[in-house]
Amino acid sequence: MANTVYFTAHKHLTPTDDYGSACTEGYMLAARFAEYLKANPGRAGDNALGQIVDHLTQKDLGEGGTGYLVGFFSEIEGMILRGARTCEPMATALAHDAELKACIERGLREERKV
């Protein structure tokens, strides 16, 4: 895909023994991730959270490095809560599921025509 922008800020975290500073950096990472999604809404749903977790759990980030994850997910949870207050989360998930199933079905019908 041309002009594809990927979130990579998490790849620059370095090992630390300072849990508190790592938590703060985790909060900032979450904010940067939210800004990234805001600027690139088409990237939502690409499993970037899974990739961030995979990277942060595979990399040796030192004694205080778990603070990156704690800070990141604490902030993400707050953002999810604020977003959930503006919509009906279950209805949104069901609509997303229906849309995905319809796309799959359209794809299957297209394959059958060939």
For residue 61, tell me if it sits in a domain.
yes
pLDDT digit string, tens, across residues 29-71: 999 999 999 998 888 888 888 888 888 888 888 999 899 999 9
Please give the model's pTM, rounded to 2 decimal places. Answer: 0.78
The span from the CA of 65 to the CA of 61, in Å, is 4
DSSP secondary structure string, 24-45?
A: HHHHHHHHHHHHHHHH-GGGTT
For residue 98, tell me if it sits in a domain.
no
pLDDT (0 to 100) of residue 103: 87
Asked if residue 111 has pLDDT above 60, the reply is: no
pLDDT (0 to 100) of residue 109: 63
pLDDT (0 to 100) of residue 13: 87
Among 36, 39, 46, 37, smallest CA distance to 1 is for: 46
How many domains does the chain divide into? 1
For residue 39, tell me if it sits in a domain.
yes
Evaluate whether 31 touches 78 at the Cβ level (below 8 Å): no
For residue 47, tell me if it sits in a domain.
yes
For residue 33, tell me if it sits in a domain.
yes
Asked if residue 114 has pLDDT above 90, the reply is: no
Interval 64-82 mean pLDDT: 94
